[in-house]
Structures are given as C-alpha cells and as structure tokens.
Amino acid sequence: MLLGAALAAVVLGLLGLLAARRTGPVTAYAAAGLVWSLVVIALVTLVPAAGPPGYLMPEEVQTACSFDYGGPAPDGFWIFSGGQRLLNTALFVPSGALLVVVAARWRLGWLLAPLGLGLLAAYSVGVEAAQLVLARIDRACDVTDVVDNVTGAGIGFVVGLGLVVLLRPWRERRDAVIA
C-alpha cells in the first residue's frame, strides 16, 4: 500500500510539473494532489484488512451494506491507532480542500466546487460498494463510513475556501497565457 502511494506521488508529481506551465503551478499541483489523495483513499480502503485477498469463505462475507450507524469496527483500524471514524473523516479532508483550489481557477468554480463535493460523496459510496462486492478482502460496507467521508470532504471544502483566498489560483490564468 505504501509503495503504491509513493509510486502514485512520483507519477502525479511529474504530471503536475508538466501541467504547471499550462495551468500554473497552484492549479497543476493541486490537481495532482487531488488525484493522489483519491488514489490513497482507494489504497487505504480497498487493500485487504489482513492476509491475502480471498481468505474469507463465501459464507462468511457480508451480503449487504450495514445501515447500523456507528460502524462494524468503531474502536480502531489496523493501520492507525484511534477511531476508525476519525480516520475516515481525515482521509477525505485533503480531497475536499484540493478540489476547491482546483475549481477556483475557472470562472465557473462556484458551480464546479459544489459539484465536485457531490462527486466526492459519490466516490465514497463507490468505495463502500466496492468493499461489498469485494467482500472477501474482509472490508465492511457501512453507511457510517459514507457519513464520515462526506464530513471530511466538507471540512476540507471549508479549508479549501481559506486556501483559495491565500493562493488565488484564478490569477494564474493571466500568468499562464502571458508566459
């Protein structure tokens, strides 16, 4: 998992470097960071919890998503100590913040950013659906995770609004066109 995250960081960092001349460095690196954060979310949530994939017997796997608010493993997570809910929330904060920075470059950013927040919520639902379909990796599909993920994306969205004021990515339009 860590190797995958590192490899994705290198590849996306290089893509950000290539795109920086065309879009400006703030937008290019924010877009690369946004994609990287989505890759990390997929790695953290879809890598088997323990042991090789497919180690659960078919009769042991989850057949439906849990709508029991609170989650199947509220006490912790195998990678980080502390609550799983805090991890699920923190995992989506960078995506929400970087989404706002990327969207702010365009005039329709006020429309693109909330649409992107909705897409982050859909991504969370997709991850949970994948965990259900790939239930033999010993992951749980749970509505609590979606709520926590969307909360993290919303917190990131607010953080991103502050970053936009500091970084002003819309100014890069003029700089990128002149250069």
Note the pLDDT tens digit of each residue in 11-49: 999 999 999 888 889 999 999 999 999 999 999 888 876
* Residue 162 to residue 165: CA distance in whole angstroms: 5
pLDDT tier for residue 158 given thresholds of 50, 70 and 90: very high
Lowest mean pLDDT among 105-109, 132-136, 170-174: 170-174
What is the phi/psi pair of residue 142, to 5°?
-145, 135
The secondary element (H helix, E strand) that includes residue 44 is helix 25-46
Query: DSSP states of 57-109 as a string?
Result: -GGGS--S-B--TT-S-TT--SSSSS-HHHHHHHHHHHHHHHHHHHHTTSTTH
Identify the pLDDT of residue 139. Answer: 77
Q: What percent of the chain has pLDDT over 90?
A: 46
**Which has the higher per-residue pLDDT, 100 or 139?**
100
Identify the pLDDT of residue 23. Answer: 87
DSSP conformation class of 136: G
* Residue 34 to residue 95: CA distance in whole angstroms: 5
Reported pTM:
0.82
Identify the pLDDT of residue 146. Answer: 92
